Amino acid sequence: MASEPKTILLVEDNADDEQLTLRALRQSDIPNMIRVARDGAEAIDFLFGKDALTLPDLVLLDLKLPKISGLEVLQKIRSEDRSRALPVVILTSSDEERDIVKSYDLGANSYIRKPVDFDEFIDSVRQLGMYWLLINRSR
């Protein structure tokens, strides 16, 4: 029996990082649908706007976003009953200790620094997709 496709919300404002992440997810052989929000406001609207019917299975969230920061998006996700348990993985270029601490304080499930090396980045995204969409059990 084939599993239902999982939905991933990728919140990423950098077009190059978006394309790399999409490529890595497609190469992971996990049946999934990927939606992209290019700023924090778009992410909030996707998750909580008037047309938001179901939540994604996983959110990959950059921190440095226009309009509304990734940390503010995470705070909003954790403040709502319907999204409180939604898996959120921070996928960012920031290696600053305060960003790591604040992300976990606000309820991030994981914090992954984007590797600079292309092959390492592809492998990291593939592994996180495998874990959060196939191995981890959620709602």
Q: What are phi and psi of 94, to 5 degrees?
A: -75, 130
Distances (CA, A) of 41 to 13, 22, 66, 78, 114: 11, 21, 8, 16, 22
**pLDDT value at position 138?**
65
d(CA 94, CA 104): 14
Q: Which segment of 38-42, 91-95, 128-132 scores lowest on mean pLDDT?
A: 128-132
23-34 as b/e: b if 16+ CB within 10 A: ebbeebebebeb
Share of the chain above pLDDT 90, in %: 55
User: Is 9's pLDDT higher than 80?
Assistant: yes
Please tell me the CATH superfamily of domain 6-133, with its number. Answer: Response regulator (3.40.50.2300)
d(CA 76, CA 83): 9
**pLDDT value at position 31?**
66
